[in-house]
Structure 1
């Protein structure tokens, strides 16, 4: 059993790598509607495997995102750690919710994270509008598909 866990843990990191790559792919006409591609798999894995994916993982992914995006070091790390903290805090309840309620909770968590990101951007001198909340809405609408897709991946590769 231990061999299965260590052999298939790379799939989790592959989903994070795909999330990082999707987050830098240009979407010329719909840039404002870009989902939070890195936060979606992070939220799923923190919800399903809280003993493997936690706040340290979120911090490391956030630092990688900061380096990749060229933003202030720690900016995305703080936001992703906040998302993971809220997911881990609500983990027992969130797993019992039907998918539409999970999507609403994800909307609130990602919306709070986007407001923190807006606040941090304002502190560094970059003014943005409240349209920065639209990615949280798009991510909440994508949550059922991401959740079902990653659940199928988890079952196929027996990740636990």
Structure 2
């Protein structure tokens, strides 16, 4: 027990909405055809689904998936299905993941990101007759998104860590 345990303040729903809007705008950036660009919406979705499953769930995942479908100009429902399943599986492991440190949490969410990417490429290969497998480097996105997990955890929990009234004599 070398690090303190914080009693977190309740999360502000406006901050959750802002984090989704910011992640959506990060996905808008013109990355070009670079492999390994993280899916910021999926990262924020899994984070809030694990930390606040009563506020962010499958409905939010479906809505964000539809927005990403429109943004990516792909088959309507591809990202919606992927994000919905991502949210469902994140809800199923949320109690277990919260017991671990951020680096170990990243190991738990890596299969979720890898599954979503596998599902998306499988749907593209099934639906589009002229589609081809993009190569194994395509899955670098899951690795980069997983590597960002501890940073996202620190940034998204920062507003909840501050004390309302700071007291130097209070140990917590």
Asked if these proteins are the same fold (TM beyond 0.5), I'd say yes
d(CA) in 1 for partners of 2:36 and 2:160? 28
Mark the runs of 5 or more structure 1 residues left unpaired by the alignment. Answer: none
Aligned to 2:167: none
Deviations 1:33-57 (A, max 9, x none): 1001101111111111100000011
Deviations 1:22-72 (A, max 9, x none): 1121124x7211001101111111111100000011001100111111111
Q: Report whether the alignment pairs 1:131 with 2:137.
A: yes
Aligned to 1:118: 121
| Residues matched between the structures, number | 153
Paired residue secondary structure (1:32): coil
Instruction: Say which of 48, 63, 77 aligns to 2:80.
Output: 77
Aligned to 1:48: 51
Deviations 1:64-98 (A, max 9, x none): 11111111111001111111111100011011122
Greater fraction of residues in helix: 1
Q: Which has the higher contact order (CA 8 A, sep 6+)?
A: 2
Normalising by structure 1, what TM-score?
A: 0.88
RMSD between aligned residues: 2.1
Mark the runs of 5 or more structure 2 residues left unpaired by the alignment. Answer: 1-9, 165-172
d(CA) in 2 for partners of 1:157 and 1:82? 35
